[in-house]
Structure 1
């Protein structure tokens, strides 16, 4: 991660529920302060992972984020909430763990939008709030949760990302300090989701598996000794969480003939210049 040092006070509780149109609240590991007009001169992000809670991005799509960094892409993470209603850890602990995980993945920056954990919704105010983040960070691709989940925040995040991505391109949206911008692509990470359709894309994460594992393990308050977490469940206390995660990664990787893979759905056809560019193993 580039930019300012990953240090500073953890955001206070006064930033948890920002009123509509208020300044964005960056986490202390941010690579750029938000909002200031000069940030619009920075390179746009290639990929922005927008997930409900700290640790969601690492657990669900950490491999693709690390692989993007290694490919020279500008990659960032936006946590919609601070995870303040979670049963394990505290927002302050999770913020420090998020800093460690971001460093491990090597992403350009990590931010939190400060929306309320446990009450995330696709409201008009939340749409404008997230649209402003998207206008400033200007990601080409946004990756987020699959549409269904047992966690209501995950379901809400998926819908909110859709709404805010569209609205960010509207000229008359009441966001005065960043011009209209709309991400080209919204993709959904479907690892652990047996109810999702067959993936449109599977990313080979074999070269970054160790970093992916380390980034997840950085959230010790959430995952240390836990047999289940978030979308990962059902393995029983005798089956460690990491083993369950690797089982899913191996299953997805086997679809494309590699050891470890992460699945993604775009819900739109993928464009290729000619059939020779189609790299799909038939046998």
Structure 2
């Protein structure tokens, strides 16, 4: 299956936090959107790989994703080497996206920045013919390199290159994040440890950020992105005709 957009997360739930409003909006616009989680989040303090995989499947249904895969790379051990690049190359060639959306280049969690560096190189190498891979059907894959690469915001804010209006999808974003019930907005931690992200205040801050960046873009809610290969190429100003910022 060919995807229009392929979004990567270091862990299940990363894309929900960083760009699910954008993904849900793109689905509404008729785009085929796929998410690939690099790890199962098996080193996380809360939940189990089995539970987190189910939470990811539930979130995929909420967002209307065309597919969601888990590459089962080692959590907390994301190194930029050929061994870990190959599953990503296979994934990119499998879905042949026009746009890839990646984790932040640097962030509080080391896995996020490490994942971004690993992904940038793997995506480049996915276009090299002499790196041979096979798809799920066992057949040789053709090289493919996406036209555009974006980075979504995670814990540490950055100055975005653009802000995407997610006002029409904010409820879907909330539902998708809440699908990870072991991780976020935990009012009764039970026997599991409380964490930085399980505290309800983290959940509240997420919506405050969406409101803040929405305000900067002239929307009700927004998500900020970096464009990896600056400058941003455009052939029309039509996208500006669709927006009327109030600022």
**Counterpart check, 1:247 vs 2:215:** no
Aligned pair partner of 1:215 in 147, 159, 176: 176
Q: 1:240 offset after TM fit, Å? A: 2.9
**Counterpart check, 1:53 vs 2:11:** yes
**Counterpart check, 1:118 vs 2:79:** no
Measured in 2, the distance between the counterparts of 1:275 and 1:245 equals 31
Match of 2:196 in 1: 228
SS at match of 2:89: helix
Tell me the C-alpha RMSD between the 2 structures.
Answer: 1.9
Match of 1:153 in 2: 111
The gaps in structure 1 that reach 5 residues or longer are: 1-41, 231-236
Mapping of residues 1-283 of structure 1, within 5 Å: 42=1, 44-176=2-134, 177-194=140-157, 196=158, 198-225=159-186, 228-229=196-197, 240-267=201-228, 268-274=230-236, 278=240, 281=245, 283=247
Distance 1:66 1:275, change over 3 A: closer
SS at match of 1:142: strand
SS at match of 2:69: strand
* 8 A contact 1:132–1:175 mirrored in 2: yes
- Tell me the TM-score normalised to structure 2 length: 0.88
Distance 1:255 1:166, change over 3 A: same
* 8 A contact 1:121–1:153 mirrored in 2: no
- Tell me the TM-score normalised to structure 1 length: 0.77
More off after superposition, 183-192 vs 64-73: 183-192
* 8 A contact 1:192–1:248 mirrored in 2: no
Q: 1:183 offset after TM fit, Å? A: 0.9
Distance 1:206 1:280, change over 3 A: closer
Q: 1:215 offset after TM fit, Å? A: 0.3
SS at match of 1:143: strand
The gaps in structure 2 that reach 5 residues or longer are: 135-139, 187-193
How many residues are paired up?
232
Q: 1:161 offset after TM fit, Å? A: 1.0
Measured in 1, the distance between the counterparts of 2:51 and 2:237 equals 49
